[in-house]
Structure 1
Amino acid sequence: MDEHIYKRHNKSLLLYHLVFPMKYRREVLTKEIGESFQFICVGISERYEVQFAEIGYESDHVHFLVQSVPDMSVSKLVTIIKSLSERELFKKHPEIKRILWGGNLWTSGYYVNTVGQYGNKDVIRKDIENQGKETEYKKIHGEQLKLWD
């Protein structure tokens, strides 16, 4: 999982930590359902440009370490994993629908964080500062990302 993906016009190493909670935080995942879920994720890897480095779960949520390609947005990645796993798990384990009152498997939300193997925020800042040492570095922006309503 520490290998770059080579495409025609880019080289990338994009790793994401994703967490998907079950709808209503219901305790749905058992050993048997976890094994089915693993099999489903292998199928997703074979059809899409997604590689699961690690999958772990507790009864009410799932953690992933996923590698993907730059032209697949995080929201598209999440949609693929959630929709295909939900459909296949409901087919293979219809008893899940009773636990979830016939609704969806996943909450609409999720957690995502990027994972950096070759440097953290401070290392990358230092690399940027050291670019073009023959000229003086001028920082033009340094705020935390803010989201507007």
Structure 2
Amino acid sequence: HMLISFPPRKSAVDVIKALKGRSAFLFLQIHPEIRQKQYWGGHLWSSSYYLGSLGNMSKDVVERYVNDQKYNAYKKIGLYES
């Protein structure tokens, strides 16, 4: 989960493409063995994505949701105790 803000002149599709492209580039620089094995047809990310807007929710509500997801994921793998 990510909460990002971008100027209205940028399209959501362009922002997602940039995030996925740059993160794949950086990841594959650190882990070249992934590229060498040609996982996923040479692509790190699938072509799909989900994008939601805040709508009538406040930024604080969404930030809390994102942080709760992070906490729940860490708790699931044992980084936080109940």
TM-score w.r.t. structure 2 length?
0.58
Q: 2:39 aligns with which of 66, 87, 100?
A: 100
d(CA) in 2 for partners of 1:80 and 1:74? 10
Higher helix share: 2
- 2:49 corresponds in structure 1 to 110
Higher relative contact order (CA 8 A, sep 6+): 2
Tell me the amino acid that sits aligned with residue 2 of structure 2: F
**Structure 2 gap segments, 5+ residues each:** 60-82
d(CA) in 1 for partners of 2:41 and 2:33? 9
Tell me the amino acid that sits aligned with residue 86 of structure 1: A
**Structure 1 gap segments, 5+ residues each:** 1-62, 119-149
Q: Which has the larger radius of gyration?
A: 1
User: Which consecutive aligned stretches of 4+ in structure 1 deviate over 2 angstroms post-superposition?
Assistant: 95-99
Aligned length: 56
- 1:142 corresponds in structure 2 to none
Q: Secondary structure at the match of 1:86?
A: helix
TM-score w.r.t. structure 1 length?
0.34
Q: Secondary structure at the match of 2:53?
A: strand
> Once superposed, what is the RMSD of the aligned Cα atoms?
2.0
Deviations 1:84-114 (A, max 9, x none): 1111111111123337256100000101111
d(CA) in 1 for partners of 2:40 and 2:8? 37
